Structure 1
Amino acid sequence: MRRLLLSTALLLLSACGPSLRLTPGELPPVQPPPADLKQEAEQYVAQHIDEESYREIRSGAEYRRVRQMVDKLSVAAGYPSNTFPVHLLDAGEEVNAAAFNGASIVVYRELLVRVSSDDELATVLGHEVGHIVAAHFKDHEEEKSRAAAVSVGSSLLGVVASVATAAAGYGGAADLAGGVTETATGTIGYGAFVGSFSRTQEYEADHLGLLIMAKAGYDPRAAVQFWERSAEVFGAESSSVGAFFSTHPASRDRQQAIAEAMPHAIRFYEATRGVASKTK
């Protein structure tokens, strides 16, 4: 299992699993993950860190940056502070971030190098928290049978890809258009697969992620610039990125719909900034 991306183990896909009924522009009520789920997630993450010989960063400025951001996003989503364990991994030039089982957050250090601001980093991490809020990991037993790889193409670029139609609502044809795509990645040891959440679940996570980051005080407009430079950030030559582009709408469509989805997030952002200015 040499050089297999940790994301192979981190995301248990729930492409056919249940989702909450969500209202565009609103955050649903949440519940912290149960203790047994969190314990299992931590054990599984630790196992794969050991197998891949990644170095875990447990202190210092970079760790504090990620830890504090995850806490801000979690609180904005409605969770208590320190709900989710955070693992910052030195995995060389590999770039990724993932929420495992709705209970743990894993970030590769290289992501911190590639993003241009805290707002862009919050775009990625807000998307992961959005999956948790939307209960995409709820059907745990089904997810265990669907364990699969989600590399940068579906996990990170998914942050902005399906925001394109988030404002249009959820359900209907989007479910049929979603599903799971699997493509061999030539850069991984014996060939893992690139998977994805259903289109509807990605729309939900992107929409919620924008609201969450905005409510936490991060500028949701960063998602636009993040998308514009995403190929540069994550490497357009990657086969996993190619698979991503083959299963999502054209960039022009995405950018147009990002603009349509943005007012909801801007409303949260301006409200948060207004409260912050009054407390100074």
Structure 2
Amino acid sequence: MCISLLSNTQIPATLPAHIQVEKKMAQRLGRFRSYTSQPSKAYFSGPKQGNAYKALLLDAGGTLLQMVQPVEETYAIVGSKHGVKASPSEIKKGFKKAFAEPWPERLRYQGDGRPFWRHIVAQATGCASNDYFEELYKHFSQGDAWKLPVGAYEVLSHLRDAGVKLAVVSNFDTRLRPILEDMDVAKLFNAIIISSEVGFEKPAPQIFQVALDQLNVAASKTVHIGDDQQADKIGAGALGIDSWLWGKDVHTFKEILHRILGSDVN
């Protein structure tokens, strides 16, 4: 049975403490740009030609991993068994609003991420039923809930064979690694960097530095692709990593292949 929305708690409209500290340190050192400032045109460099990139970093949700079914439809279908009355359009609106709110803890995705996702589900649907939440949580824990973009597997295989190092860099909970394994794609990556495991979330530069360290590549030889301007493009750019926005700068994995390997593509 669905319990009505459990919380009207106002989440502080401030950056998490660790981001504030990192921001102050970065400003003192003059090494990184503010997470909230708008970058100049010189901040991002364009694509490099002739296989100048030695490594590719990929965001997971929304970039490498696409939902088989829109989240609002899944929430509504599963919710119909638990007394949820909200329509998919209402759920979509509530989901976006809840997801955009600041989270008061240091990390959104701590461990399995249940506290954060429980809040999102309740706020998006108005239903705080534990049975409902757990059914949704289990659904999105399985590879069948996700799909790769067209051509992604083949392009990643080609890049790996060409000597390009590959890594996932994602704000995600501990379900990500099993999901990638379930989809038979984890084996393509030299490193999988997950915020819940390393203790930093994008746009913090530390999570990108972990990827560079594990791949043993320089930022200048690396490109990152994600779907979020703040977390992905500005976050990667703070370390001097070139970045392309999925759906704006690049639209297909075939395009990614050509932009990285250039004339080397057969």
Which range, TM-score by smaller chain?
Answer: under 0.3
Query: TM-score under structure 1 normalisation?
Result: 0.26
Instruction: Specify which structure has the higher proportion of helix.
Output: 1
More strand as a share of residues: 2
Bigger radius of gyration? 2
